[in-house]
Amino acid sequence: MLSKLLTNYEETVAVILFCIGFSTMLLNKNLLKKIIGMDIMDTAVYLFLASQGYIKGRTVPIVVDGIQSVEAYINPIPAGLVLTGIVVSVSVSALMLALCIRLYYRYNTLNLDEIIALAGKEEV
């Protein structure tokens, strides 16, 4: 079991990071920490995905020295997907951070429970 985890260490690290991010996002009351948790979670998925495209002994899929055999290069698809995913994550993080600023100006706290309680007292 341990040897399998060590052999697939990228995947193991990715799963551990995902669990850390997931629990941080779910259990923390602080909005900023929730966003950090969300980013860790996304990064873990991208690490997992990028590791799937890597093939030991091969190089980046850019044709150099006229070598056109696919056997020479790693799988470029996961890398492309990771780039797309990162763009999506950045947009989500930016929106969440902007929202945090709005909420902090309004309620002077980043604790989500306190914010919910204060908002509940406002008129509908």
Partner 1 sequence: MQFVQNFPFFCILLTLMGAVASSVMNSRMARRTTLFLILADLAMNVSVMIYTLQTGDSYAYKMGHFPAPWGNEIRVGVLETVSLTVFLLVILFAFLGGMRKSEKEIEPTKYNIYCILTDLVMLSLIALVYTNDMFTAFVFIEINTLAAAGLVMMRQGGRALVAGVRYMMMNLLGSSLFLIGCVILYTITGHLLMVNIRESVAALAATGQYHVPLTVVVSLISVGLAMKCALFPFDKWLPAAYSNSTPTGSAMLSSIVSKGYIFLLIKVYVRVIGFDVIRSLGICDVLFIFGAIGMVAGSVNATRAKTTRMMVAYSSVAQIGYIFAALGLGSEMGVMCALWHTLAHSATKSMLFISAHTLDHASGDTHLRKDLRGAFYRSPLAAAAFTLGAVNLVGVPLLSVFITKVTMAQAAIQIGGRHTVIALCALAISTLLNAKYFLGTTMQMYIPDHEHPERNAKVKINFYAALGLIGFIALNLTLSFFAQGIFGALLDGLARFA
Least separation in angstroms between CB 66 and partner 1: 22
Tell me how far CA of residue 96 lies from CA of 43, 51, 75, 91, 100, in angstroms: 17, 28, 33, 9, 6
* Burial class of residue 59 (count of CB atoms within 10 Å of its CB; 0-12, 13-18, 19+): exposed
Pick between residue 19 and residue 67 the one whose CB is nearest to partner 1.
Answer: 19
Q: What is the largest CA-CA distance in the chain?
A: 70
CB of 84 to partner 1, least distance (A): 6
- Cβ(57)–Cβ(119) below 8 Å: no
DSSP one-letter code for 108: S
Least Å distance between CB 110 and partner 1? Answer: 11
Residue numbers at the binding site for partner 1 (CB under 8 A) = 18, 22, 25-26, 31, 34, 38, 41-42, 45, 48-49, 52, 77-78, 81, 84-85, 88, 91-92, 95-96, 99, 102-103, 106-107, 112, 115-116, 118-120, 122, 124
Q: Looking at beta carbons only, is 34 or 74 nearer to partner 1?
A: 34
For partner 1, the closer CB: 72 or 100? 100
